[in-house]
Amino acid sequence: MARILVCDPISPDAVAEIRAAGHEVVEKPGMTPDELVATIPGFDAMVVRSATKVTRPVLEKAAGTLKLVVRGGVGMDNIDAEAAKEFGVKVMNTPGASSVAVAELAMAQMLACCRFISRADRTCKDGKWEKKAFSKGIELWHSTLGLVGFGRIAREVAKRALAFEMNVVFYDPFVTDAGSLDARKVDLDTLCREADFISLHIPMSPETRHIISKKQFDMMKEGVVLVNCARGGTVDEVALGEALKSGKVFAAGTDVFEKEPPEDLSLVSCENLIATPHIGAGTAGATSRVGGEVSKILIEYFK
């Protein structure tokens, strides 16, 4: 029997399945970093999603008992992989479970940006009828979508963009071609110059920090739409705010921020920014699939 600490919520069915396999499951979502350090000793495995940070102090405190960290989701930049390796802790994730949910949010952000959905809804609820003010939207049809990163989620976005009859280009130094998808590989500068819509699908790392900044915004078309449902910090928020205010960026949709929740609301308060609170994987279907993959990983590992 293994002792498993669930630090971020997963589906009740997954918890029940893990318990049915004979393991002890302790659910303690919402712990502070200090509470996590105090709680982790004695557990064989821990389950996290995006909220909990598995830092060196956590792994150091768990040394000797902790064998496995399961990240319910795709990116693993909230886990100190180097420290995990040092302390002999295996790290696994569920890369396929939430891809569709995040991809659909990216498409929703694009549509909301180009048709003023949030602002038009708000004014209608205020009793106004500002049809003329919102009659200058733009279309996805026959426009060019640039995908920064071309992993699982980006490929799901590409499939949907192609159904909208968009032209798709992508930048990814680790991918050689698009496989069966009708998408063209380009360098980042070319993507910035050609794309009408740009959507990020990359992890946060020293190499990707502020990969979209003032230099890239200066290259972009006037009136570009930018979407980030990947990781905060990949876009320079100061540069984005300036580009939104100048009109260089027609609108932006962002589900992620450098600091979550953001303390500086200057970017969030931009009228042409649609902000959502890191809900990319927040669907019932994705939660169920993530839970199912998490329970499968844990049960197989400790069998």
Which CATH number goes with the domain that contains 213?
A: 3.40.50.720
- Tell me, yes or no, whether 124 and 141 share the same domain: yes
10-residue stretch averages of pLDDT, the chain, 303 residues long = 96 96 97 97 96 96 96 90 96 93 98 97 97 96 98 97 98 96 98 98 95 98 98 97 98 97 95 96 93 97 95
Q: Are residues 23 and 138 in the same domain?
A: no
In angstroms, the CA 271 to CA 251 distance is 9
In this prediction, residue 77 carries a pLDDT of 86
Bridge partner residues of 169 (DSSP): 146, 184
| Spatial separation of the C-alpha atoms in residues 229 and 153, rounded to whole Å | 10
Same domain, 142 and 265: yes
240 and 266 fall within a common domain: yes
User: Do 53 and 155 fall into the same domain?
Assistant: no
The predicted structure's pLDDT at residue 50: 87
Domain check: are 290 and 208 in the same one? Answer: no
Judged by DSSP in three states, 150 sits in coil
> Among 231, 237, 289, 293, which one carries the catalytic annotation?
231
Question: What's the distance, CA 294 to chain centroid?
Answer: 18
Give residue 86's pLDDT: 96
Beta partners for residue 68, in sequence order: 45, 90
Same domain, yes or no, for 239 and 92?
no
Q: Are residues 240 and 142 in the same domain?
A: yes
Q: Per the residue annotation, which of 35, 86, 139, 260 is the catalytic one?
A: 260
Contact between residue 28 and residue 50 where contact means Cβ atoms under 8 Å apart: no
Domain of residue 202: give its range: 99-275
155 exposed, middle or buried (CB, 10 Å; 0-12, 13-18, 19+)?
buried
pLDDT reported for residue 291: 95
The pLDDT assigned to 75 comes to 81
CB–CB of 167/194 below 8 Å? no
* Whether residue 68 is found in the same domain as residue 25: yes
Q: Note whether 193 and 221 are within 8 A (CB).
A: yes
Selecting among 115, 184, 193, 278, the annotated active-site residue is 278
| Shared domain check, 156 and 124 | yes
Q: Is residue 187 classed as helix, strand or coil in its secondary structure? A: coil
Do 35 and 153 lie in one domain? The reply is no
Does an H or E element contain 117, and which? helix 117-125
The pLDDT of residue 95 is 85
Task: For residue 278, indicate whether it is catalytic.
Answer: yes
Say whether both 55 and 114 belong to one domain: no
Q: Which residues touch 193 (CB under 8 Å, ≥6 apart)?
A: 219, 220, 221
Question: How many structural domains comprise the chain?
Answer: 2
Q: What is the pTM of this model?
A: 0.91
How would you write 222-277 as a 3-class SS string?
Answer: CCEEEEECCCCCCECHHHHHHHHHHCCEEEEEECCCCCCCCCCCCCCCCCCEEECC
3-state secondary structure of 70: strand
